Structure 1
Amino acid sequence: MNILLVHAHPEPQSLNGSLKDFSVKRLEKAGHVVQVSDLYAMHWKATLDVDDSTDRRADTRFDPSLDSRRAFESGTQSQDIAREQDKLRWADALILQFPLWWFSMPAILKGWVERVYAYGFAYGVGEHSDSHWGDRYGEGTLAGKRAMLIVTAGGWESHYGPRGINGPIDDILFPIQHGILYYPGFDVLPPFVVYRTSRMDEARFSGICDALGQRLDDLWKTTPIPFRPQNAGAYDIPKLTLRPDIAPDRSGFAAHIA
């Protein structure tokens, strides 16, 4: 299988850098073909702006969505964007690996999403009608592919537990897993999270690698998170709210998982 690993940490000798190297070796040893987008090493431009189109007139108003669509459709996107889109088309699975900084991904990785997920590529696709509201949330350009997060966090696991001060890790990662990965069609696997990263020794690192290695070995066996597809009947369209009979006792993020 073809796997794209997008890595977002500025220090190659960090825990993240070591886990990235381990993952690549483990996957390649299993016979997979791996491409790595090491965003800091690539000096990836994080800001979505007028320079993302190669033929834009300087005297026109910049509209992020409309300019993105025009550049994508006309083949005038900047080459760094087009290359990453080609990698996503090529990949059977995507791994996003990053440290949890201020309850989300680093800005450079968010910028990768904002620029690579062009209008017409990752959103704005499919018909919009009274029964089907675009190809998204379970459908879309990237449907049929798998995705997984590898995340490191400085806090204790209990800090991210059901009653932890930081909030449940599944809630913190929901906007990424549901909104960034499931939205364009990925089947999203449960995340691999490493906690308390400042307390690491050789024995603990070895155990983490063993667990991560098993997750990578099972990349095509693991059951995805059962997010509810948008156009399969659970949601009233075009309101896009869950039908009253679907999970009537739940609200918030949890209601969107079957």
Structure 2
Amino acid sequence: MNVLIITAHPEADSFNSYLAAKAARVFEKQGSVVNSVNLYSENFEPVEGKIFYPDRQDSVRFDALREQRHHWEKKILPDDVSRHIQLLINSDLLLLHFPFWWFGMPAILKGWMDRVFVYGGIYDSRQRHENGVMKGKRALLSVTAGAPENACGYNGRHGDMRLMLWSPIHALHYIGYSMLEPYLIHGVRGGLDGIAKKEQQKLLDEKVEDFENRLTNIHEWPIIPFNREDDFNEDKTLKPEAPEYSPFVRHDPDGWKKS
């Protein structure tokens, strides 16, 4: 199996980065080929823009999708984008390791998607969702948060962390990935000492062991269900008889208020 690990944490000595390194060792021990990319270490530029497209089809108005498709077809995308696309294509499993910042992923990772998920190459109007370019591949989010688990639950003060990860989960499924349930670790905080630090370390050690064990048996990892194309009408609305898998795609627009 070919595994690609993308890390989006600015501190190489962070727990999140440590977890990514652990994942790499688990798969290497199993005989997999592992490629690891740290977006911060590479100084990846996350801001999409006209500067990356030297052979513009329209020199006046910048249309990102149009230029992405054109430069993909011409094989003149930026070197870093081309390399990352090839890594994605060559891998069977993608792991994204990142901290939960301001109720979402770091800007560098969103920018990575903006630039690397190029229109015409990674997706188009015919290759999306269950028919996406990455069909048959799996992806997993490994996310750390400073807040305690109770605060990040469905009834927690900070809101449901699992639901807030819909954006990257849906984006990856949009280009064809089968999405594994994200692995969430809470209470990852610095500045602790004494008993609090020892208790945190014990919890994190247990989480690392659990993470390694689950990666070893990743074929048993639960897969997130999504609606398929035939669940929707021609106008792209959900058919009345279709199942609901998410509060983001539902029958009753006020259903979330009743739960």
Answer whether TM exceeds 0.5 for this pair. Answer: yes
Once the two structures are superposed, the pairs formed by residues 202-221 of structure 1 within 5 Å of their partners are 202-221=201-220
Once the two structures are superposed, the pairs formed by residues 21-60 of structure 1 within 5 Å of their partners are 21-56=21-56, 59-60=59-60
The percent identity for this pair of structures is 33
- Distance in 1 between the 2:109 and 2:140 partners? 15
Contact 2:57-2:70 within 8 A present in 1 as well: no
Contact 1:54-1:78 within 8 A present in 2 as well: no
The TM-score, its normalising length taken from structure 2, stands at 0.88
After superposing the two structures, state which structure 1 stretch, 183-192 or 57-66, moved more. Answer: 57-66
| Structure 1 pair 63–254 and aligned structure 2 pair: CA distance change class (3 A) | closer
Contact 1:54-1:77 within 8 A present in 2 as well: no
Q: Which residue is equivalent to 1:131?
A: none
Once the two structures are superposed, the pairs formed by residues 1-258 of structure 1 within 5 Å of their partners are 1-56=1-56, 59-126=59-126, 135-178=127-170, 180-198=171-189, 201-229=200-228, 231=229, 233-237=230-234, 239-247=235-243, 252-253=247-248, 255=250
Deviation at 1:251, TM superposition (A): 7.3
- Distance in 2 between the 1:15 and 1:222 partners? 22
Larger relative helix fraction: 2
* 3-state SS, counterpart of residue 165 of structure 2: helix
In the alignment, residue 136 of structure 2 is paired with which amino acid? G
- Distance in 2 between the 1:31 and 1:59 partners? 49
- Distance in 2 between the 1:55 and 1:194 partners? 44
Contact 1:145-1:187 within 8 A present in 2 as well: yes
Deviation at 1:59, TM superposition (A): 4.0
Stretches of structure 1 lacking an aligned partner (at least 5 in a row): 127-134
Residues 81-108 of structure 1: per-residue CA shift (max 9 Å, x gap): 1000000000001001100011111111
| Structure 1 pair 68–254 and aligned structure 2 pair: CA distance change class (3 A) | closer
RMSD across aligned positions (CA): 2.0
* 3-state SS, counterpart of residue 148 of structure 1: strand
**Poorly superposed stretches of 4+, deviation over 4 Å:** none
- Distance in 2 between the 1:80 and 1:251 partners? 34
Deviation at 1:26, TM superposition (A): 1.3
